[in-house]
Amino acid sequence: MREDHFRFRSRMRALTDGAVTVLAILATVVVVTPLVAIFAYLVIKGARSLNLSFFTQIPKPEGESGGGMANAIVGSGILLAVASVLGIPIGIGGGIFLAEFGRGTKLANVVRFTADVLNGVPSIVMGLAIYALIVFPKGTFFPFMGHFSALSGGVALGIMMIPTVCRTTEEMLLMVPHAVREAALGLGVPNWRSVLSITVRTASPGIITGCMLAFARVAGETAPLLFTALGNPFMSTSLNQPIEALPLQIYVFANGPYEDQHRLAWAGSLVLIALIVLAVSLVRWVTSRGVLKGAS
Amino acid sequence: MRQFLLARGNSAFADRGFHWLMVLCAMSIFVIVALIVWQLVLRSQLTWEKFGIAFFYQSFANPETHLPMYWDPVNARFSALPFIYGTLVSSFLALLIAVPLAVGLAIFLTEMCPGFLRGPLAFFSELLAAIPSIIYGLWAMYALVPVLREYVDPPLIHWLGWTGLFNDENPTGLGYFAAGVILSVMILPIISSLTREVMSAVPNSQREAALALGATRWEMIRVGVLRNARVGIVGGIILGLGRALGETMAVTMVIGNTPEIHRSLFSNGTSMAAVIANEFTEAVNNVHLSALIEIGLALFIVTIIVNAVAQLLVWAVTRGTASQAH
């Protein structure tokens, strides 16, 4: 009787074990399915509507077929350039401070916490804040502004890059062995030169990785541009004027009533995702090699 | 490079200058966050003075239908209630769907997966995290919503309609449910990668001990791994919640954008982020504008609290196990 009970118990345990294994595999399949579906949709729908005029023409008036997103591609380029110019130096500087100067100090902890807070700010709220800071109040900080502009959009994206760049830079610098710094200082190299041309240089592949991750992240952001860059159906390169961006254009076209606009939206998404996948793969390739193994 | 290193100069001055430049960079992060908070508080002042805390729960009677209404830009009467409701419903729905799947995926990847699959699968879930929300939105709008409308909503209405949660004469596919589903896809990689991280931080001796006592693999995972990693897993879940609360574009594109409160998950609703995205550039008056900014401020405060809690939990567990492993 007892033996039967034990046999039953052990069979039940084996069954539970098998059931959990099946469930875990099932969960994995369920997770992979939407990813495959998204990529399949993008490639099939996007490739079908991707042609040369997508890259060379601006959108046609509503309802007309044809046209492209040349203005959005140029606009995204300009916005991302402004964002990088603003976000990358401040981010790297903050990271250098955290790793080289502020290690263990209270100020460093506050800065680190603030960077994490900034990282968690929803992108739509970032749009609101930049609207309130730069776009709306003519004359407070930016007397020449007071309207939607490429500059404000770039600033919003740049601020969103800072926390990622800052924290990766810090992590990468912390991985540089102390002996390297000591060797430089021992040779009488001033501290700032040792930091810039020894420590930062050693960690530079990792720092570049962080910058590219931040870049890939803001490249697809739409919400912070809604009330800063606003969008512009014409080709524009002025920082002082509203400008189009790829994600903004996709949003507008996806909500539009015309089949042709949906087609362009899919093509735009394919271009955007190709850019991001390229960046992420490059990052993975760089980090999987040599010194930075496991650093990503 | 060599010349740069050996060049002479007033290095004490340069050193101090460089130091302060870096401090300036670090402080600017602080200043940016302070500016954001200051602006949000300042610009939402109008609504705060007019409605006070009641902004978050009040409702008004519609003079014609006598039904409650919440969002009346023409008469400048506003309440955040339907947006808070929509955000909470869609986010919790997302957690309900995503958490079991994410934990299952993490268990599979850390404990069961054959080595050759681990790398590609991890890369896949990383990619999922890198897809912009606008692309999720586009996909949800044109691929997910039709599938929900045709194949998912009708059986749910048929079998579970009596609960009142799945009730709609003519489901459009849009609504809280669609928002919850697409959000779950978006937060899955976050939860699962953090779960994976804390599960890998559990020392192998725990697994070996459980196996040595005759545990099956599942018992080993339950007793040896999940029990040790649970605080970190909760941290990952809360981090996913933080992302879901603030998510804008994908939700805006499928939730239906109607400032109403419905019990049925298939009804059109709206969320805090969605209403800001939709109405901000078309705000009809100053009170409307400031009401939207106050919703943004509320969203900001909530996400900060949620993220801080999550980070504390993750930090607590990874720090604890790291010292145990030595």
Shared-domain flag, residues B279 and B150: yes
- Rounded to 5, what percent of chain A is helix, strand, coil? 75, 0, 25
Q: Which amino acid is at B168?
A: D
Same domain flag for A134 and A244: yes
pLDDT, tens digit (0-9, with 9 covering 90-100), for A218-262: 999 999 999 899 898 889 888 889 999 999 999 999 998 888 889
B134 and B36 co-located in one domain: no
The rounded distance, in Å, linking the Cα atoms of B67 and B91 is 27
Judge: A89–B104 Cβ closer than 8 Å, yes or no: no
Contact B18 A191 (CB under 8 A): yes
Question: Is residue A222 situated within a structural domain?
Answer: yes
Is A63 inside any structural domain?
Answer: no
Q: Are residues A148 and A275 in the same domain?
A: yes
Q: Both B128 and B186 in a single domain?
A: yes
Q: Give dist(CA A131, CA A146) in Å, integer.
A: 9
- Kindly identify which residue of chain A lies nearest to residue B239, measuring between CA atoms: A120
* Residues A244, A164 share a domain: yes
Q: Has residue A56 been placed in a domain?
A: no
CATH label of the domain that carries residue B140: 1.10.3720.10
Question: If contacts are CB pairs under 8 Å, which of residues 152-211 in chain A contact chain B?
Answer: 159, 162-163, 166, 184, 189-193, 195-197
Hey, are the CB atoms on A100 and B27 less than 8 Å from each other? no
Q: Are residues B108 and B234 in the same domain?
A: yes
> Chain B within 8 Å of A118 (Cβ-Cβ)?
yes
Residues B146 and B26 placed together within one structural domain of the fold: no
Q: Which residues, including other chains, have CB under 8 Å from residue B263's CB and lie 6 or more apart? A: B164, B165, B167
Q: Which of 10-29 (B) contact A at CB < 8 A?
A: 11, 14-15, 17-19, 21-29
Q: Mean pLDDT, chain A, as a whole number?
A: 88
Q: Do A189 and B15 touch (CB under 8 A)?
A: no
pLDDT, residue B68, reads 86
Give the residues across from B77 on adjacent strands: B72
Q: Average the pLDDT over B223-228 and give the result.
A: 89
Q: Could you give the number of structural domains in chain B?
A: 2
User: CB-based contact (8 Å) between B129 and chain A?
Assistant: no
Instruction: Give the mean pLDDT of B116-133.
Output: 82
Per the structure, the complete domain to which residue A29 belongs is given by 2-49
Domain-embedded: residue B27? yes
Close Cβ partners of B162 (under 8 Å, ≥ 6 residues apart):
none
Is B71 part of a structural domain of the chain? no
pLDDT tens track for A117-154: 899 899 999 999 999 888 876 545 555 567 889 999 99
A132 and A40 inside one domain: no
In a domain, B57, yes or no: no
Number of structural domains (chain A) is: 2
Q: Are B253 and B138 in contact (CB under 8 A)?
A: yes
Minimal-distance CA residue of chain B relative to A164: B29
- Give A9-18 pLDDT, tens digit per residue: 888 999 999 9
Size of interface A-B (CB pairs under 8 A): 271
Q: Is A277 on the interface with B (CB under 8 A)?
A: yes
**Is some CB atom of chain B closer than 8 A to the CB atom of A24?**
yes
CB contact at 8 A, B165 and A4 = no
Helix axes A2-49 and A259-287, enclosed angle (nearest 10): 120
Distance between A56 CA and the closest CA of chain B, angstroms: 22
**Claim to verify: residue B36 and residue B157 sit in the same structural domain:** no
What pTM, to 2 d.p., does this model score?
A: 0.91
Task: Tell whether B284 lies on the interface with A, counting CB pairs under 8 A.
Answer: no
The tens digit of pLDDT for each residue in A189-218 reads 888 888 988 899 888 888 988 898 899 889
Give residue A289's pLDDT: 64
Task: Decide if B280 is inside a domain.
Answer: yes
Query: pLDDT value at position A145?
Result: 64
- Chain B residue numbers touching A192 (CB-CB < 8 A): 11, 14-15, 17-19
The answer to whether the CB of B135 falls within 8 A of the CB of A269 is yes
Shared domain check, B32 and B119: no
For residues A31 and A87, state if they share a domain: no
Q: Are residues A101 and A232 in the same domain?
A: yes
CB pair distance less than 8 Å for B138 and A191: no
> Which ranges constitute the DSSP H helices of chain B?
2-6, 11-43, 45-51, 81-107, 115-130, 133-139, 145-147, 153-160, 176-201, 204-212, 217-219, 227-246, 249-254, 272-279, 286-325
Domain-located, residue B54: no
d(CA B55, CA B47): 8
Same domain? For B31 and B142 the reply is no
Q: Which chain B positions have a beta carbon within 8 Å of A42's beta carbon?
A: 135, 139
Alpha helices in B202-285 (DSSP H): 204-212, 217-219, 227-246, 249-254, 272-279
- Whether B90 shows a pLDDT value over 50: the answer reads yes
A81 lies in the same domain as A39: no
A12 and A107 within one domain = no
Domain shared by A209 and A145, yes or no: yes
Residue B39 sits in the same domain as residue B87: no
Q: Is residue A55 part of a domain?
A: no
> Read out DSSP for A116-142?
HHHHHS-HHHHHHHHIIIIISSTTSS-
Measured CA to CA, the distance from residue A243 to residue A237 in angstroms comes to: 8
In A, which residues are within 8 Å of B110 by CB distance? none
Paired tokens of B253? 């594109």
CA distance A129 to chain B (A): 5
Q: Is residue B271 within 8 Å of residue B86, measured between CB atoms?
A: yes
- DSSP 8-state class, residue A233: S
**How many CA within 13 A on the CB side of residue B313?**
21
Q: Is A8 on the interface with B (CB under 8 A)?
A: no
Are A171 and A278 contained in the same domain?
A: yes
The reply to whether B293 falls in a domain is yes
> What interface predicted TM-score (ipTM) does this complex get?
0.89
Please tell me whether residues A28 and A168 are part of one structural domain.
no
Is residue B56 a part of any domain in this protein?
no
Q: Do B5 and A94 touch (CB under 8 A)?
A: no
Q: Does residue B254 sit within a domain?
A: yes
CATH number at residue A154: 1.10.3720.10
**pLDDT category, B274, cuts 50, 70, 90?**
very high
Per the structure, the complete domain to which residue B261 belongs is given by 80-325
| Predicted confidence band of residue A65 (pLDDT cuts 50, 70, 90) | confident
Rg of the Cα trace of chain B? 25
**Do A41 and A84 reside in the same domain of the chain?**
no
